[in-house]
Amino acid sequence: MTKNVNERAADNIRILSMAMVEKANSGHPGGAMGGADYIHILFSEFLRFDPADPEWINRDRFFLDPGHMSPMLYSVLTLTGHFTVDDIMQFRQWGSVTPGHPELDLKRGVENTSGPLGQGHTMAVGAAIAERFLAARFGRLFEHKTYAYISDGGIQEEISQGAGRLAGHLGLSNLVLFYDSNDIQLSTETSAVTSENTAAKYKAWGWRVMEIDGHSHDQIRGALRLAGDENERPVIIIGKTVMGKGLIDEAGKSFEAKTSTHGQPVTHAGGSFKKSVANLGGDPEKPFEIFPDVKQLYEEVLAGKSAASAAWKKKKESWAAQNHDAARQLNDFYSGVIPEIDFAAIAQKENDATRNASAVILSHFAGKIPNMIVASADLSNSDKTDGFLKKSKPFARGDFSGAFLHAGVSELTMAAVMNGMALHGGVIPACGTFFVFSDYMKPAVRLAALMRLPVKYIWTHDAFRVGEDGPTHQPVEQEAQIRLMEHLKNHHGENSMLVLRPADAPETNIAWKLALENQKTPTALILSRQNIKTLPSEGKPRIEAAAMASKGAYIVTDAPGKPDVIMIASGSEVATLVEAAALLAAGGIRSRIVSAPSEGLFRTQDESYRHSVITPGVPVFCLTAGLPVTMQGFAGSDGRIWGLESFGSSAAYNVLDEKFGFTGENIAKEVSKLEQSAVASRQSPVKTSRQSPVYSRQSKPVGSRQSTVGSH
């Protein structure tokens, strides 16, 4: 039977997909082959993009959820000219632009990094919200679709619950999700793990559900046309497809619908690569060939896409000529221009909790930053993101004129949605919850770091001082975990995340300034539940002194001459050091207090500045309400750390301070022991020199409620 050019194009995608995996001797061919029909029809006939301008702001977005199906995406993007045949021949190789799972690469048409199932389509929800937000402000000219592609595994991931609920609740009619339902997953058939009615589930969430033959081009077109006309509900197209469509074995028998073809080359799975290529109309000796008729088809497709985008840009020029201010603002939104904000002029209460200080700043942002979107996971009145909400209003079905997202109790969903907003562009996403619940968010936080997305995380209730709620709500290990992202480099050689734990309200102003200015990586703000005494300032207003927080660590107070000990902490523990310093001074011990909101920032400063803050040869005492390892980079080889090595307990926070030894009196006692030990060491005939702590990256994490000496 003679196939038409669209069927040939889908088969070409199948051949290229399995050829990539075969040559790399690694990858997932089966699903890519099953999805070829849909991806071809979508990209050639429905998806709006500009071949010459891959970052065109009004392009339709396509989010791939199952990153293991990258061969399918790379194949269709080769037909569109985003990749070359040489590119896909280097699939999964060192230095290749075609990694095993797609990584964000807008110039080549890859809208998102994908791999961890469920996150890709949830990012699409965020992008769809960003589109609604922008269209509400600039008009229908700026409307476009967001398409997402999900597999059986993504449907099973728990995050799909949050994404489905949220999109349905908000009525995101600009969102079209294709569910590639092939009944096969990596190790089993799906019937071994689930018997749910997926269509009924999405209907219950308020989606428009269509069920089609995922290989019928006419049915795919029909569903996509209906999806394009939908204006009230998000759309899910459930396409029944066949894993490994077109595969045969050496005997020429069908080798379709096999679990084995999910995650290994066709030959390893038991099929015949060469006979399958021939079965699909290709040349087994030239499996990377693009069929001449398919090449011609895509040349015509690209010409049409170019003409359509050019026509839209002319309309935008006319719009801009009539809407000068709006056009300037739109350009600012997409260019990352931030309105001028005088952070020193934002007044804060004395001795306030840093979460409250954050609320003051967010309230200011609501009136100053028109493209900021803030979200909370059902904690806005506690994480104090309501400072922003009170000056805006929440998103609702059919109304995106506000700028606040009630994400519900779904921290991971919220984090992935924020990633999608950042990927869409034009908005500044920030989200809040309790710090202990950052555990739910870490998979999406990691992808944000990998993609260099400037999402702002507002994590409050930062330590055991949460108090009566007890150990389930008291972070201990979380700060050490998240600060590891300051050590992990992204592919541009930058710290993959900026982590800030301000010591008082004025320092919170500076932390937010740094967060807003950071457009290269995600930023975490770790904030207190309880009030914190405003730190002393010598000879200048506290807000001016706090500006030094931009260095990552700085001297708050210092002793005349050379100090006997340097005390370092972040967050509310710095105020405890101030109490201890007064007691130490009464006993003749001269101390320097250092606030260290970001070790990562401090590590990037030049050596002379680092040594001016942490003077070599002076004993160092570090205080943390988290694991002692949190401060190991500051303590160095000879320093001492007072931290927490157990879960917290349920009691008032001031009781816990006393029980855990986080009082000025106890810290003064422990610092005295360190200073006495240092004096004894200096009098010893064996001399040792203290190494600069910022180089102590291999030091072992030693510490407990009792102060201990770190060692290499």
Which CATH number fits the domain that encloses residue 594?
A: 3.40.50.920
Rounded to whole angstroms, the Cα distance separating 477 from 461 reads: 14
- Clarify whether residues 520 and 599 are in a common domain: no
The strand order across the sheet containing 146-151 reads 61-64, 146-151, 175-181, 235-240, 208-213
Kindly state whether residue 313 falls inside one of the protein's structural domains. Answer: no
Which residues are CB-contacts of 631 (< 8 A; sequence separation ≥ 6)? 568, 569, 596, 622, 623, 624, 641, 643
546 inside domain: no
Beta bridge partners of 432: 376, 458
Q: Which domain holds residue 447?
A: 343-526
Mean pLDDT of 637-650: 95
pLDDT at residue 94 tops 80: yes
Q: Is this model's pTM higher than 0.85 or not?
A: yes
Q: CB count, 10 Å around CB of 370?
A: 15
> Does 284 lie in the same domain as 401?
no
Q: Are 363 and 387 in contact, with CB atoms under 8 Å apart?
A: yes
Mean pLDDT calculated for residue range 233-255 = 98
Q: Is residue 335 part of a domain?
A: no
CB 178 within 8 A of CB 148: yes
> pLDDT tens digits, residue range 495-518?
999 999 999 999 999 999 999 999
Alpha-carbon distance 138 to 130, whole Å?
A: 12
More confident residue, 178 or 538: 178
Query: pLDDT tier at 20 (50, 70, 90 boundaries)?
Result: very high
Q: Does residue 689 surpass a pLDDT of 60? A: no
**694, pLDDT greater than 60:** no
Residue 639 forms part of a structural domain? yes
Angle value at C-alpha 473, between 468 and 476, nearest 5 degrees? 110
Q: Quick one: average pLDDT of 533-553?
A: 96
Domain identity same for 647 and 521: no
- Residue 545 identity: A
Task: Give every CB contact of residue 178 below 8 A, 6+ residues apart in sequence.
Answer: 38, 42, 147, 148, 149, 150, 236, 237, 239
Classify residue 676: in a domain, yes or no: yes
- Both 265 and 412 in one domain: the answer is no
334: nearest Cα among 519, 490, 102: 519
pLDDT value at position 638? 85
- Residues in Cβ contact with 649 at an 8 Å cutoff, skipping those fewer than 6 apart: 464, 470, 471, 656, 659
DSSP 516: H
Of 407, 417, 361, 351, whose CA–CA distance to 384 is shortest?
A: 361
pLDDT of res. 683: 77
Q: How far, in Å, CA of 290 to CA of 88, rounded?
A: 12
Query: Do 440 and 498 belong together in one domain?
Result: yes
> Looking at residue 278, which CATH number applies to its domain?
3.40.50.970
* Burial of 453 per CB tally in 10 Å (0-12, 13-18, 19+): buried
Catalytic, 468? Answer no
DSSP 147-196: EEEEEHHHHHSTHHHHHHHHHHHHT-TTEEEEEEE-SB-SSSBGGGT---
Identify whether 560 is part of a domain: yes
Q: Where are the alpha helices (DSSP H) in 189-291?
A: 198-204, 217-229, 266-269, 273-279
Statement to judge: residues 164 and 280 lie in one domain: yes
pLDDT beyond 70 at 197 = yes
pLDDT digits (tens, 9 = 90+) for 115-152: 999 999 999 999 999 999 999 999 999 999 999 999 99
Mean pLDDT value across residues 266-271: 98
Q: Could you tell me if 559 and 495 lie in one domain?
A: no
Which pLDDT does position 687 carry in this prediction?
Answer: 47
Question: How far is 394 from 411, CA to CA, in rounded Å?
Answer: 17
Residue 625, both tokens: 């309400």
The pLDDT of residue 696 is: 31
Partnered with residue 213 across adjacent β-strands are: 240
Judge if 232 and 356 occupy the same domain: no
The domain tally of the chain equals 3
What average pLDDT is seen over the chain? 95
Residues 635-658 have a mean pLDDT of 96
Q: Which two tokens stand for residue 126?
A: 């965020």
C-alpha span between 148 and 114 (Å, rounded):
12
| Predicted confidence (pLDDT) per residue in 583-642, tens digit | 999 999 999 999 999 999 999 999 999 999 999 999 999 999 999 999 999 998 889 999
How are strands ordered across the β-sheet holding 554-557?
554-557, 591-595, 565-569, 620-623, 640-642, 708-709
- What mean pLDDT comes out for the span 378-400? 98
Q: Are residues 17 and 72 in the same domain?
A: yes
Whether the pLDDT of residue 701 is over 90: the answer is no
pLDDT confidence bin for 679, thresholds 50/70/90: confident
Structure tokens given for 115: 């791999």
Burial class (CB in 10 A: 0-12, 13-18, 19+), 344: middle
Least confident of 83-87, 209-213, 226-230, 535-539: 535-539
What percentage of the chain reaches a pLDDT higher than 70?
96
CA distance 653 to 530: 8
Residue 426 shares a structural domain with residue 376: yes
Q: How far is CA 466 from CA 216, 382, 646, in A?
A: 57, 12, 15
pLDDT tens digits, 310-361: 999 999 999 999 999 999 999 999 999 999 999 999 999 999 999 999 999 9
In whole angstroms, what is the distance from residue 628 CA to residue 461 CA?
Answer: 19
Distance of CA 119 to the CA centre of its chain: 10
At which of 305, 331, 365 does a domain end? Answer: 305
Write down the pLDDT at residue 697.
Answer: 27
Residue 336 lies in a domain: no
Same structural domain, 281 and 376: no
Q: Are the C-beta atoms of residues 301 and 274 closer than 8 Å to each other? A: no
Catalytic one of 7, 131, 256, 411: 411
Both 293 and 376 in one domain: the answer is no
Q: Nearest to residue 30, comparing CAs of 307, 241, 191, 263?
A: 263
* Structural contact between residues 600 and 628, judged by C-beta atoms closer than 8 angstroms: no
Average pLDDT over residues 3-19: 98
Please give the average per-residue pLDDT across 466-487, as a whole number: 97
Choose the final residue of a domain: 305, 324, 354: 305
Q: In which band, very low, low, confident or very high, does the pLDDT at 685 lie, cut at 50, 70 and 90?
A: low
Other C-beta atoms within 10 Å of 158: how many? Answer: 10
Residue 468, in any domain of the structure: yes
